[in-house]
Structure 1
């Protein structure tokens, strides 16, 4: 992906280390909605390491391709994240404006080790996640290396995909999807909540595809970028994660979607670039 030398978002909070500088603070909220995978009954993940709004790896497949840093505190890592966040701002500002709405840009928090959010404490093991309570995306860049090694999902565009997925959750928060899910899940069984969670996650995947559609239109993608994102979607599917961690698959425990579903919904958003094509809630099956 061609990301170097491009505009970086100003909506970054750098909390890495003891002297992290706050560049901007986003508006907060009171929705205590934990999207981190703390357990199979919670919205994100089967175990904290399996959070999936997390989808990416650390290196590109060709030495000629531009590479994003694998993690750690360095300006290049911050620059990469800043450019991708800026791209999502451009896309969603355009889409919201076309529908006579104002897009409220989220903040992105860079942290190392552990960070406090309105949804509780975040750790590197949790992976990137979105907290609707403070409308912020949280990322420890060191997690990219684990995704590259453990999840076999390398590539700068795979890394960008995970940010776009988490921003997709922010869009859902602005449009009322996440508050409604949080309300409904209180009365659902664990199995029913998981099924609804899958629809939430797949829509965020589709929204990431919508972002990728417009990024592709601007001529910013390189050969292999789409394959990196699709591979990441496959590697973090619930079935792939369950096979890797426990050796067998339990469909009733899915809360992000299968490998096939995640890749398919990302591709759907990528193909059309239309938010209307990302309705994962109207059909009986996704």
Structure 2
């Protein structure tokens, strides 16, 4: 999840591991070691380190003088709460259509999978850039790496199907090739569209500061249930933002007919019920937020941080 660092070499990452039939997802904050959670159905996710939020002063630096009067300091938790709840992203308005059609490449080879995601990413950039700028943030496009097999030379530990890490979206071609060859090709396409737009949703969160603020909030919660609730709010928002793009471009994509029916089935059957950690929301919540984004085509519909806990369960 993003090119955001606290202290020394701390990277926020998100990983999505999806079982072909169940649509399982998992995410984890990576610390200095950049370890990512690897989850499979029926197994408990591993634990990774949390970031140091207060970097130490450089050795040999000047001593800090203590003023005689009171010091007005910002409460980082209050700032984080304002960032996730009141972000200008929610006020920027409807996403403009990219006027892009669905990429014609099909998941029959790594090169074609790479072409699909490359073309899709360009369309995501086209729609999101003006909204990010209108909200008052600096836009930068994420990098894209589509890989096949295990690539140990990459900077992020790719143990999952889709990862947003250090400003780069990583997509596994192997997952899409297997789905296209062994399952429903149309389901493969709707899954690919959901995945790349979901990972881009994390990039949007990063540009708006929501990603960092939410991780800070989660890291301070000693109650594991509340920490998981914060995690689900973040992930369900990314899925909602995924729907926002598809809803904005539905006339041109086009997202209608059998494609739309299959996409609705896809988001309706992608839940974390199998995972005792419950990091991404159950099928009902995932469907609700994905469809809310699609129907509104506006990030204002994706403020999961003010939602009742029952709707992000």
Same fold (TM > 0.5): yes
Within the alignment, does 1:218 sit opposite 2:252 as a pair? yes
Within the alignment, does 1:163 sit opposite 2:196 as a pair? yes
- Of the three residues 107, 120, 135, the one matched with 1:70 is 107
Native 8 Å contact 1:168 1:204 kept in 2 = yes
SS of residue paired to 2:193? helix
SS of residue paired to 2:216? helix
- Of the three residues 288, 291, 298, the one matched with 1:267 is 291
Native 8 Å contact 1:108 1:138 kept in 2 = yes
C-alpha distance after superposition, 1:210-243 (max 9, x if no partner): 100121133533522222222222332112xx1x
Within the alignment, does 1:92 sit opposite 2:116 as a pair? no
Alpha-carbon separation, structure 2, partners of 1:158 and 1:260: 17
Distance 1:99-1:181 versus aligned 2 partners, 3 A rule: closer
Paired residue for 2:272?
Answer: 238
Distance 1:78-1:259 versus aligned 2 partners, 3 A rule: same
**Equivalences for 1:1-286 in 2 at 5 Å?**
30-36=9-15, 42=28, 47-48=39-40, 68-70=105-107, 72-74=109-111, 76-115=112-151, 116-118=153-155, 120-123=156-159, 126-131=160-165, 134-147=166-179, 149=182, 154-188=187-221, 189-218=223-252, 220-239=254-273, 242=274, 250=276, 253-285=277-309, 286=311
Distance 1:263-1:47 versus aligned 2 partners, 3 A rule: same
Distance 1:186-1:170 versus aligned 2 partners, 3 A rule: same
Paired residue for 1:5?
Answer: none
The alpha carbon displacement at 1:191 in A equals 2.4
The alpha carbon displacement at 1:135 in A equals 0.6
Alpha-carbon separation, structure 1, partners of 2:264 and 2:38: 21
TM-score (norm 1): 0.69
Native 8 Å contact 1:203 1:279 kept in 2 = yes
Distance 1:130-1:232 versus aligned 2 partners, 3 A rule: same
Distance 1:198-1:152 versus aligned 2 partners, 3 A rule: farther
Paired residue for 2:91?
Answer: none
The alpha carbon displacement at 1:40 in A equals 7.7
Distance 1:70-1:40 versus aligned 2 partners, 3 A rule: closer
Distance 1:122-1:48 versus aligned 2 partners, 3 A rule: farther
SS of residue paired to 2:110? coil
Distance 1:169-1:154 versus aligned 2 partners, 3 A rule: same
